[in-house]
Amino acid sequence: MLPSAIEAMTAGFHVVGNAASVHSAGRTARRHVEESRELIAEAFGARPSEVIFTAGGTESDNLAIKGIFWARRDEVPQRTRLLVGATEHHAVLDAAEWLVRYHGATITWVPVTDEGIVTPAALEAAINENPDDVALATVMWANNEVGTINPIRELAAVARSAGIPLHSDAVQAAGPLGCDFAASGLSAMTITAHKFGGPHGVGALFLRRDVACQPILHGGGHERDVRSGTPDNAAILAMAAAVKTVVRDRDETTTTMRRLRQRLITGINELNVDAVINGGRDAQLPNIVNVTFPGCEGDSLLMLMDANQIECSTGSACTAGVARASHVLIAMGISPSIARGTLRFSFGHTSTDHDVDHVLETLPQIVERAKSAGLASAAAGERNV
């Protein structure tokens, strides 16, 4: 967390009032919530009434996908089709697939290029299969695994021309890019605080006033009757403080992260290791490097990195103890056997040149050990056949 967010959150813990109450303590809490809402709205090019506080990105994605689907289907029963980018986060994928299992939805997966980009032409083709049965479309602003940035304004224009609401998971993009909600043309947009230096467990759904959305939580009718629940005053204050700091420092922070990212990529390319950099060649976040090491298993690489005080991720999923390659890389055309040997490195406001140096110094022996472990495992498998 950013120091400013920690300070704001600590101060917020001393406010005992429920922001939904009318007594003086409650009114103080409500003022904090509404001032935070105004600050966040201004930072992201939205009206305060379009900011709905949630418990984070997963809830915001679920609220948008399920809530807009239900509202659109209730209005016109034949609207049961969801258009979903093939590389979406599981908060979107799983919500959409849940609607298929329990609410009669169907999904059209919108393909991506080998860089991971959803093109306007691809979205238009998906819509044109039958524009009348589409409930909504959802395409992430920037991918959380490879960092590829989608052309959101162009995609929103395609959806809008067909009268279809477009939601975007902007969780990964909100910090480094800013994401102007009004200028984007989106109907709904998801952000979460911990991706830009705020606390875990708080986020927001930006929802246009003319977009109907059924609630998934029912209770006191807080947050525009779309999301019930007592507002987390301290977390919201911290989120607003983080937004204020990020906006102020964005140019400097982004420049530093972009420099560190390029230093890491250049360093990896100069090492004597087999490595492939994945993601966008032009439209790319400044803080993510996704690298595939053919012949290695991602889990082995991850554990060896962690043993050397390097914290990164594989981007893969694990079901019933069986590691699977990232659906993002597979959608980009990378074979599952190769994609499994992939790591994602992320930079933040605390990242330094020393961090990059440590990765580059440690990487060759880690890749060598992981590749040896993979060969040994393959040989053992052949003996057991």
User: Which residues of the chain are under the pLDDT cut of 50?
Assistant: 318-321, 378, 382
| Whole-number pLDDT of residue 319 | 44
| Whole-number pLDDT of residue 273 | 92
| Whole-number pLDDT of residue 385 | 53
**79 shares a domain with 47:** yes
Between CA 37 and CA 205 the distance in angstroms is: 11
Q: For residue 13, what are the domain limits?
A: 3-245
| Whole-number pLDDT of residue 320 | 40
Amino acid, single-letter form, for residue 111: P
pTM: 0.94
For the segment 86-133, what is each residue's pLDDT rounded down to a tens digit?
999 999 999 999 999 999 999 999 999 999 999 999 999 999 999 999
Burial class (CB in 10 A: 0-12, 13-18, 19+), 235: buried
Q: Are 28 and 173 in contact (CB under 8 A)?
A: no
Q: Which residues contact 147 (CB under 8 A, 6 or more apart)?
A: 172, 279, 280, 284, 285, 287, 288, 289, 290
Q: CA 119, 69, 174, 333: dihedral to nearest 10 degrees?
A: -40
Cα–Cα distance list, 152 to 47, 187, 285 (Å) = 19, 11, 14
**368 shares a domain with 288:** yes
**207 shares a domain with 274:** no
Q: Are 82 and 135 in contact (CB under 8 A)?
A: yes
For the segment 262-273, what is each residue's pLDDT rounded down to a tens digit?
999 999 999 989
Q: Are 86 and 140 in contact (CB under 8 A)?
A: no
Q: Is 135 left (phi over 0), alpha (psi -120 to 50) or beta?
A: alpha
**125 shares a domain with 24:** yes
**199 shares a domain with 99:** yes
**238 shares a domain with 272:** no
Between CA 140 and CA 92 the distance in angstroms is: 9
**286 shares a domain with 363:** yes
**84 shares a domain with 36:** yes
Last residue of a domain, one of 245, 265, 286: 245
**DSSP-assigned beta bridge partners for residue 167:** 138, 188
**155 shares a domain with 96:** yes
**154 shares a domain with 140:** yes
Kindly list the catalytic residues.
Answer: 318
Number of domains the chain contains: 2
Contacts 24+ apart (CB under 8 A), 260-265: 260/347, 260/351, 260/352, 260/353, 260/355, 260/356, 261/286, 261/287, 261/288, 261/289, 261/347, 263/353, 263/356, 264/289, 264/345, 264/356, 264/359, 264/360, 265/289
Write the CATH number for 134: 3.40.640.10
**268 shares a domain with 231:** no
Last residue of a domain, one of 245, 278, 312: 245
Last residue of a domain, one of 183, 211, 245: 245
Write the CATH number for 371: 3.90.1150.10
**220 shares a domain with 257:** no
User: The tokens 């093109």 sit on which residue?
Assistant: 119
